[in-house]
């Protein structure tokens, strides 16, 4: 069975990302096709990328990079829970992605986004970034609206129908995440 990380993509005080990630996790836990865990960027306290070598060289020198790399390496697929900031993802999530390379390669990624337009522009950017990191991004995505899935734009109260879109995304993610295990070279 593959391991899936549900990545909390905002570190902002008062962020919505943690409530959204918990909701995704609660839905995922009802499934028996993978092991699902929440991975919170806040727990890794990553500074703006401060490694001297490009991540593709695999020469990580700093303890926070090594801790983040070890965590990411433990998973076969990722659900990125992302806000939309200025029509893209958060700086915190982009930075966390930039830190590593091999740990992301040949793995699957799915997206749960929120914003005034369902976070779709953040996901479009993330798909380009993920492609450069050699990740396979699944088509089905979850789009949450700040207008209808949050009370007063603040408290997360998702439309119950959105659960279906989480499961549709996870169906594709587990399928590709499982298939991609075969192309990864075991070290
Ligand atoms: C710097 C910044 C830029 C934002 N830009 C957008 C945007 O382009 N589109 C959008 O729909 N919402 C935008 N928002 C609103 C966010 O979607 C909303 O604040 C959301 O709660 C942020 O996620 P978080 O609370 O998990 O950090 C922006 C918010 C911030 C802080």
Domain coordinates of the chain in residue numbers? Answer: 2-183
State the distance from the centre of ligand 1 to the C-alpha of 35, rounded, in angstroms.
Answer: 30
For ligand 1, atom 12: residue with the closest CA: 115
Q: What is the pLDDT of residues 21-73, one digit of tens each?
A: 999 999 999 999 999 999 999 999 999 999 999 999 999 999 999 999 999 99
User: Which one, of 63, 67, 62, 66, lies nearest residue 51 by Cα?
Assistant: 62
Percent of the chain with pLDDT over 70: 98
- Given a cut of 70, whether residue 187 has pLDDT beyond it is no
Give pLDDT, residue 30: 98
Burial of 116 (0-12, 13-18, 19+ CB in 10 A): exposed
Dist. CA 74–CA 53, nearest whole Å: 23
For ligand 1, atom 24: residue with the closest CA: 15
Give pLDDT, residue 168: 98
Q: Which atom of ligand 1 is nearest to the CA of 114?
A: 17
Give pLDDT, residue 55: 98
State the distance from the centre of ligand 1 to the C-alpha of 64, rounded, in angstroms.
Answer: 27
- Given a cut of 70, whether residue 186 has pLDDT beyond it is no
- Given a cut of 60, whether residue 179 has pLDDT beyond it is yes
Q: What is the pLDDT of residues 99-141, one digit of tens each?
A: 999 999 999 999 999 999 999 999 999 999 999 999 999 999 9
Q: What is the pLDDT of residues 85-105, one digit of tens each?
A: 999 999 999 999 999 999 999
**Averaged confidence pLDDT in the chain:** 97
State the distance from the centre of ligand 1 to the C-alpha of 114, rounded, in angstroms.
Answer: 8
Dist. CA 29–CA 36, nearest whole Å: 7
For ligand 1, atom 4: residue with the closest CA: 85
User: What are 150's strand-pairing partners?
Assistant: 156
CATH number of 2-183: 3.40.50.360
State the distance from the centre of ligand 1 to the C-alpha of 154, rounded, in angstroms.
Answer: 11
8, 85, 92, 120: which to mutate for ligand 1, most atoms within 8 A of CB?
Answer: 85
Helix (H, G, I), strand (E, B) or coil at 44: helix
What pLDDT band is residue 13 in, cutting at 50, 70 and 90?
A: very high
């Amino acid at each position: 069975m593959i391991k899936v990380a549900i990545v909390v993509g905002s570190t902002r005080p008062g962020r919505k990302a943690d409530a959204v990630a918990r909701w995704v996790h609660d839905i995922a836990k009802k499934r028996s096709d993978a092991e699902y865990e929440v991975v919170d960027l806040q727990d890794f306290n990553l500074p703006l990328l401060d490694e001297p070598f490009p991540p593709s060289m695999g020469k990580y020198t700093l303890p926070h990079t090594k801790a983040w790399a070890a965590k990411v390496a433990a998973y076969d697929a990722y659900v990125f829970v992302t806000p939309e900031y200025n029509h893209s993802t958060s700086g915190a999530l982009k930075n966390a992605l930039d830190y590593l390379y091999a740990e992301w390669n040949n793995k699957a990624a799915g997206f749960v986004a929120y914003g005034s337009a369902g976070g779709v522009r953040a996901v479009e950017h993330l798909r380009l970034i993920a492609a450069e990191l050699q990740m396979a991004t699944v088509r089905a995505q979850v789009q949450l609206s700040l207008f209808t899935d949050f009370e007063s734009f603040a408290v997360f109260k998702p439309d119950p129908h959105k659960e279906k879109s989480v499961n549709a995304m996870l169906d594709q993610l587990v399928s590709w995440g499982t298939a991609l295990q075969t192309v990864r070279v075991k070290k």
